[in-house]
Amino acid sequence: MLTPLDNFYAKTEEPLRSTLMALRDIILSQNENLSSSVKYGMPFFSYNKKMFCYLWVDKKTREPYIGVVEGNKINHPSLEQGNRKRMKIFRIDSQKDLPVEKISEVLQLALAFY
């Protein structure tokens, strides 16, 4: 039987599933104290049991993004605030190769707040 986290990925259609799973692996590789679970119906990543970031798919564009919980404390050109007070997002263009270095850079900046 699938866990809720496995079920999230399993019900997502390709090629979005592969992109989300690659993002999951990139996030988890940033630090050994990161873990993942499902919160609010999406994959959520915690650092030492504190909310760190999440994965979601924009309903209009159908493009994935990484939501950074403490994003308001980070200045990085790849992050956008929108009308969010605390979080910022890192949009992913699923038609291009993942910008692994930029993603890691943003995640390492976010880890500095924990």
Domains of the chain by residue range: 4-111
- Report percent pLDDT > 90 for the chain: 88
Matching CATH number, 4-111, of 1.10.1530.10, 3.90.180.10, 3.40.718.10, 3.90.1150.200:
3.90.1150.200
Q: Are residues 77 and 105 in contact, defined by beta-carbon separation less than 8 angstroms?
A: no
Residue 82 DSSP class: T
Mean of the per-residue pLDDT values for the chain? 94
The residue ranges of DSSP E strands in the chain, in sequence order, are: 34-39, 42-47, 50-57, 64-68, 79-80, 88-91
Read off the pLDDT of residues 71-107 as tens digits, 9 standing for 90 and up. Answer: 999 999 999 999 999 999 999 998 899 999 999 999 9
Distance in Å from the first CA to the final CA of the chain: 34
What are 82's two structure tokens?
């929108």
Crossing angle between the packed helical segments 100-111 and 16-28, to the nearest 10 degrees: 40
**Sign of the CA dihedral with 10 first, then 49, 66, and 29 last:** negative
Q: pLDDT at residue 1 above 90?
A: no
Query: Is the model's pTM score more than 0.95?
Result: no
- For the chain, the residue count is 114
What are 70's two structure tokens?
């403490």
Task: Report residue 47's pLDDT band, with 50, 70 and 90 as the boundaries.
Answer: very high
